Amino acid sequence: MPKYSIVVPFHNEEDSVTTLYDRLKATMEQVGDTFELVFVDDGSSDRTYRLLEEIAAVDSRVLVVKLRRNFGQTSALAAGFDHAQGDFILAMDGDLQHSPHEIPNFLAKLEEGYDVVSGWRAQRGDNFIMRRIPSRAANWLMASLSGVNIHDFGTTFKAYRREVIHNIPLYGEMHRFIPALASWYGASICEIPISNPPRDSGKSHYGISRTFRVFFDLLTIRFLLKYMTRPLHFFGSIGALGVVSGSLLAMWLLVLKVVTGQHIMDIHGPIFVIAGIMILAGIQMIGIGLLGELQVRHFHTASHRAPYTIDRVIRLRSEESLLQ
């Protein structure tokens, strides 16, 4: 079993595959401990998979996971984490914007006892208006809402202890919230600065539209961190408030009807309708909370479902395993 696993998702990165492999191999061989390189092809349409296949054919330390289509970065990372066998798992991008020479810094922090080590792009080289300003705003909101005091949630360049990352379910675009989710499980987290050079080749898969998706993800992560195991506390509180308020209005109208004999629908018709809507909406919110509680129970009892499907997994068997 390797001590370290390096997980790298690729999507149409044919220009960087070989270079990144050479740099990773040289760095990890200098580290000195056993390691494996887990390369995930996330439905590339260029020569990325063919190059990965050629690498796996000559190096038994390389595991290639080919997904059937492009599932997105979070799912590709989840596939890599699920197939990684190392005690320490490090994830990075495949576009050469993350330097393998910085990997020992991450591993040293894990050896110190931290569960999650997050990279911090302190000096970013990308566009100030289109990338850096939205990123700073999003990172500030993430830190405020999650309570995890780090500067950079967006980078993939992070290292984890195996038992921590395997306890975090990944789906959608949740990879950027791994530190927040890990903190919910009680993980210790630290941050180290990393370089962020511009891309040498290829096209970035990120744009300004991603900022809007991040906003909705922030709402999701805030809800998950606070009410993940008790959704009835959220929906039930709103529902109970609606039912109580609507009932008080209805009782007031009933008293008016009995005491004064007024024709309620003619004089207070809108209030009567509002009271009925508040009661019905409150009952619905309580019902949603109860369904959420059932989903939580199902989550803790059902088998794990992966957010991806695999086409094939390739690894060259080493000579030692062939002799056994």
3-state secondary structure 169-207: CCCCCHHHHHHHHHHHCCCCEEEEECCCCCCCCCCCCCC
Q: What is the pLDDT along the chain (324 residues), one digit of tens a residue?
A: 899 999 999 999 999 999 999 999 999 999 988 999 999 999 999 999 999 999 999 999 999 999 999 998 889 999 999 999 999 999 999 988 899 999 999 999 999 999 999 998 876 655 555 566 766 777 777 777 767 778 787 788 999 999 999 888 787 677 878 888 888 778 899 999 988 766 555 555 555 555 566 667 667 777 776 776 778 888 888 999 999 999 999 999 888 888 888 887 888 888 989 999 999 999 999 998 888 877 776 665 555 566 677 888 888 765 544 444
Q: Are residues 204 and 242 in the same domain?
A: no
- 124 and 177 in one domain? yes
d(CA 98, CA 12) in angstroms, rounded, equals 17
One domain for residues 36 and 180: yes
Instruction: Assess whether 202 and 239 both reside in one domain.
Output: no
CA distance 165 to 142: 19
The single residue listed with the structure tokens 């630290």 is 190
Q: Domain limits at 32?
A: 4-228
Residue among 303, 304, 307 nearest 79 (CA): 307
d(CA 256, CA 271): 13
Query: Residue 189 in contact with residue 118, Cβ under 8 Å?
Result: yes
The owner of tokens 């000096």 is: 123
- Together in a domain, 295 and 262: yes
64 and 82 in one domain? Answer: yes
- Map tokens 């949740």 to a residue: 174
Asked whether residue 129 falls in the same domain as residue 88, the answer is yes
State the Cα–Cα distance between residues 89 and 289, nearest whole angstrom.
37
Contact indicator for 221, 146 with CB cutoff of 8 Å = yes
What is the per-residue pLDDT for 324? 47
- Mention every residue, 6+ apart, whose C-beta is less than 8 A from residue 233: 227, 289
Give the pLDDT confidence score for residue 195 in this predicted structure.
84
Q: Enumerate long-range contacts of 54-57, CB under 8 Å, 24 or more apart.
A: 55/17, 55/18, 55/21, 56/314, 56/315, 56/316, 57/314, 57/316
What is the total count of domains within the chain? 2
Say if 310 falls within a structural domain.
no
pLDDT at 308: 74
The domain that contains 178 carries what CATH number?
A: 3.90.550.10
Residues 217 and 258 in one domain: no
Do 270 and 194 belong to one domain? no
Positions of E strands within the chain? 4-10, 35-41, 62-67, 88-91, 116-120, 158-161, 189-193, 310-315
What pLDDT sits at residue 62? 95
Residues 19 and 141 in one domain: yes
* Amino acid sitting at position 118: S
How many angstroms separate the first and last alpha carbons of the chain? 15
Query: Residue 243 carries which DSSP code?
Result: H
- pLDDT attached to residue 192: 92
pLDDT at position 322 is 45
Instruction: Examine residue 182 and state whether it is found in any structural domain, yes or no.
Output: yes
Neighbours of 111 (CB within 10 A): 10
Burial of 32 by CB count in 10 Å (0-12 exposed, 13-18 middle, 19+ buried)?
A: exposed
**110 and 238 part of one domain:** no
